[in-house]
Structure 1
């Protein structure tokens, strides 16, 4: 990347705010989740009211199931998120920050916003006593995400196989 492109990217990423999600974001997050689902090719979209309820319960229930950082664009609209949880145990008796979803609306991609989200997550993990690492997964058939993480200097770890079963099938 040339120096003027890097400066332009930094200036564009400064027009957004990254902050913890709060209750006023529930509606916008529910809408953004539909956008994420469509991005990943889903056509079976949950009704908006159900998504609202799930977002509110997940982020602001007692106890909350997850946390999220949101990206607010210059117009004050939500344009991205990083949803995460802390997991225990990680290494020994420590815990980890597990990134479940990283999404930046296409209008803000390639402007440094995803990098800023990753830096914020790393800072959250470093500030939490006992947190030994940040972990996440991406699909093997998602070359853009894999390339993004490589540009940040992260290497892929081949040591895990992911299993999944629907809760109703247990």
Structure 2
């Protein structure tokens, strides 16, 4: 699909980024708790927790894809990486390699001082199409690794222990 521009999201893109991420949650059957204010505060502050890419069609500016990534550092890999928490491509753009293009562009949009040596992401077990997509690009499950989360109220309980 030609005529698509991929750029790093700016504050002015926050609303359409939020709309695309809301659509992703809807398509996956996920809850969507993040608000537009959350996107603005965590993505476009002095110390952002993530950066995002926006793919849009030249001419009409329609959002066709987004990628949201956060920094991660690995001592075992000796470098910085990107954790891709969200990747969405509009139905009309699927099958045209836009997801691949967004993933390929992500390291180039990381801070210049980083040496991005890897991309990391998680795939829902009940989403074999996504798993197949990532495997075709060369992503592999990290053997011997299990992802753990600590959320409220357990997070608050842990914080009280210090």
Give TM-score scaled by structure 2 length: 0.82
Task: Return the alpha-carbon distance in structure 2 between the equivalents of residues 129 and 86 of structure 1.
Answer: 9
Task: Give the whole-Å Cα distance in 2 for the aligned partners of 1:145 and 1:86.
Answer: 22
Aligned to 2:74: 89
Consecutive unaligned residues in structure 2, runs of 5 or more? 156-162
Matches within 5 A, 1:7-156: 12=1, 14-42=2-30, 45-46=32-33, 51-74=35-58, 75-91=60-76, 93-124=78-109, 128-156=113-141
> Deviations 1:29-76 (Å, cap 9, x if unpaired)?
12112111111113x554xxx611011011111211100111112420
Is this contact kept in 2: 1:90–1:132, CA < 8 A? no
Counterparts in 2 of 1:156 and 1:61: CA distance versus 1, 3 Å: same
Distance across 2 between alignment mates of 1:134 and 1:69: 15
| TM-aligned CA distance change 1:73 to 1:159, over 3 Å | farther
Q: Which structure features the higher share of helix residues? A: 1
Flag as ranges the 4+ runs of structure 1 deviating above 6 A: none
Tell me the number of residue pairs that the alignment of Structure 1 and Structure 2 aligns.
154
Alignment gaps of 5+ in structure 1: 1-11
C-alpha RMSD of matched pairs (Å): 2.3
More strand by share: 2
TM-score, structure 1 as length reference: 0.79
